[in-house]
């Protein structure tokens, strides 16, 4: 039996063991072709099958309605921060950004360099403990789109409910929570996610958008930064990150095999409940950093009473085999990332470790 760490890394993050083992089994000789998938043309029938399968499984799992396309791009979600305003923010319009933490802020900063923007809602007054409610979002008449960050990886918050904003396009960054639960894709005009948390390794970014958003990109944009380039070529305009897309296809099959997104949501709910219960049942020894109604199924943030105690917690957790529990350098404290591939057993072990640590130090 392979010994695996209790991996709570924030991204790149845990991948399913079954997927790693399948990739290992076909690493040197991909399905009898005598080469790996990395050593053949991205125009070969073998790779085209991987690409097609990844796209169609993504549609199937998310229940993507007709009239939407799935693209696999490069440059990470950070490149989408720029491409979105470059493609969709025109003169005379303003793009509205809902601020929920560091990643929403980064998306807004990038758009500011490209056109007019405004803050369409913010959780700043609560120290980003709370996601703004749907009725707190301002949609201006000249809004080009509203951008939200579905899950704030650093703060540990997530939309429980997405806003309905009428006819203005709703664009969402799902980098850290795509496929963690069912989503009504028809609420969105465009969504995107870097792969390295719930989908696979880094190197590929998924875009799911209405076909209308993916054609007739503005004149003058560089070829690679236009959505119509990628839509026209089925994401094969240039050499794609073949290995990343291949692993994504295996991860999608793994999710399907487990029962799809409803099953994933149940599992994630059960996993995170163990840890949130350890926080809530600690009588204040552990302090959750997000209000219960905005808590994330993917990133659980919490603090202990002092820097020394937090240091001790991290050190002892590492010695006990837990990896990745230190909070992001911008906010400190603790963060346990419980992405789809993090097993229930890891979460159970962490909750038990927290309770035991409290007994010794509380
Ligand atoms: N958005 C969110 C919510 C993220 O968590 C991250 C990465 N942690 C990014 C965007 C940036 O992604 P990338 O590193 O793929 O550019």
Quote the CA–CA distance of 142 and 127 in Å, as a whole number: 29
Residue 52 among the catalytic residues: no
Percent of the chain with pLDDT strictly greater than 90: 98
| Residue of minimum CA distance from atom 4 in ligand 1 | 175
Catalytic residue among 189, 197, 253, 326: 197
Q: Do residues 268 and 235 both lie within one domain?
A: no
175 lines ligand 1 (CB under 6 A): yes
Q: Which among 78, 158, 195 is the best mutation to test ligand 1's pocket, defined by most ligand atoms within 8 Å of the CB?
A: 78
Flag whether 2 is in a domain.
no
Q: Do residues 151 and 246 both lie within one domain?
A: yes
CA-to-CA separations, 350 to 5, 10, 193, 302, in angstroms, rounded:
12, 15, 27, 13
CA-to-CA separations, 80 to 60, 76, 88, 136, in angstroms, rounded:
24, 7, 11, 25
pLDDT at residue 89, as a whole number: 98
pLDDT at residue 6, as a whole number: 97
Residue 18 among the catalytic residues: no
The label of the residue with tokens 């991290």 reads: 314
Residue 177 among the catalytic residues: no
pLDDT at residue 4, as a whole number: 92
Q: Do residues 96 and 137 both lie within one domain?
A: yes
Percent of the chain with pLDDT strictly greater than 70: 99
Flag whether 75 is in a domain.
yes
Q: Which two tokens stand for residue 318?
A: 């590492």
Q: Do residues 291 and 244 both lie within one domain?
A: no
Q: Which among 74, 77, 199, 244 is the best mutation to test ligand 1's pocket, defined by most ligand atoms within 8 Å of the CB?
A: 77
Catalytic residue among 105, 173, 177, 189: 173
Give the model's confidence band at 362: pLDDT under 50 very low, under 70 low, under 90 confident, else very high.
confident
Can you give the pTM of this predicted structure?
0.98
CATH number at residue 225: 3.40.640.10
Over residues 104-113, the mean pLDDT reads 98
3-state secondary structure of 326: strand
Residue numbers belonging to the annotated binding site for pyridoxal 5'-phosphate: 77-78, 103, 153, 173, 196, 238-239
Count the domains in the chain. 2
Over residues 215-224, the mean pLDDT reads 96
**Which of 149, 155, 243 minimizes the C-alpha distance to 202?**
243
pLDDT at 2 over 80: no
Distance 251 CA to ligand 1 centre (A): 19
The label of the residue with tokens 């295996």 reads: 250
Strand-pairing partners, residue 119, are 97
Q: Which among 153, 197, 241 is the best mutation to test ligand 1's pocket, defined by most ligand atoms within 8 Å of the CB?
A: 153
Q: In this predicted complex, what is the ipTM?
A: 0.99
Average pLDDT over all residues of the chain: 97
Flag whether 1 is in a domain.
no
Distance 285 CA to ligand 1 centre (A): 31
Q: Which two tokens stand for residue 83?
A: 């491409």
Q: Which two tokens stand for residue 139?
A: 């949609």
pLDDT at 199 over 70: yes
**Which of 171, 177, 216, 174 minimizes the C-alpha distance to 190?**
171
Q: Do residues 232 and 107 both lie within one domain?
A: yes
Q: Which atom number of ligand 1 is nearest to the Cα of residue 81?
A: 10
Final residue of a structural domain among 257, 285, 315: 257
CATH number at residue 315: 3.90.1150.10
pLDDT at residue 282, as a whole number: 98
Q: Do residues 267 and 153 both lie within one domain?
A: no
Q: Do residues 175 and 299 both lie within one domain?
A: no
Quote the CA–CA distance of 9 and 149 in Å, as a whole number: 20
Quote the CA–CA distance of 42 and 39 in Å, as a whole number: 9
Range of the domain at 314: 259-361
């Amino acid at each position: 039996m392979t010994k695996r760490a209790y991996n709570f890394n924030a991204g790149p993050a845990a991948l399913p063991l079954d997927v790693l083992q399948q990739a290992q089994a076909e690493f040197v000789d991909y399905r009898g072709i005598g080469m790996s998938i990395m050593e053949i043309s991205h125009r070969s029938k073998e790779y085209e099958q991987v690409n097609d399968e990844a796209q169609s499984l993504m549609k199937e799992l998310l229940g993507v309605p007709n009239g939407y396309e799935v693209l696999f791009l490069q440059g990470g979600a950070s490149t989408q921060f720029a491409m979105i305003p470059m493609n969709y923010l025109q003169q005379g319009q303003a793009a509205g950004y809902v601020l929920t933490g560091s990643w929403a802020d980064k998306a807004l900063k990038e758009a500011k360099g490209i056109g007019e923007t405004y803050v369409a809602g913010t959780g700043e007054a609560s120290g980003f403990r709370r996601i703004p409610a749907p009725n707190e979002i301002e949609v201006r008449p000249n809004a080009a789109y509203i951008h939200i960050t579905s899950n704030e990886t650093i703060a540990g918050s997530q939309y429980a409910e997405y806003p309905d904003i009428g006819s203005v396009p709703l664009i969402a960054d799902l980098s850290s929570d795509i496929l963690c639960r069912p989503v009504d894709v028809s609420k969105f005009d465009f969504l995107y996610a870097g792969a390295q948390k719930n989908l696979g390794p880094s190197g590929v970014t998924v875009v799911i958008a209405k076909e209308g958003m993916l054609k007739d990109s503005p004149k003058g944009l560089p070829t690679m930064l236009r959505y119509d380039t990628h839509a026209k070529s089925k994401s094969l305009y240039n050499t794609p990150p073949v290995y990343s897309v291949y692993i994504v296809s295996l991860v999608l099959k793994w999710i399907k095999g487990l029962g799809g997104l409803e099953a994933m949501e149940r599992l994630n709910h059960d996993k995170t409940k163990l840890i949130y219960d350890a926080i809530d049942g600690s009588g204040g020894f552990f302090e959750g950093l997000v209000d219960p109604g905005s808590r994330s199924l993917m990133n659980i943030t919490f603090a202990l009473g002092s820097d020394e105690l937090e240091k001790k917690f991290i050190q002892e957790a590492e010695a006990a085999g837990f990896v990745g529990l230190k909070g992001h350098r911008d906010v400190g404290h603790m963060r346990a990332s419980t992405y789809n591939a993090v097993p229930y057993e890891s979460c159970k072990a962490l909750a038990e470790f927290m309770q035991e640590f409290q007994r010794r130090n509380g």
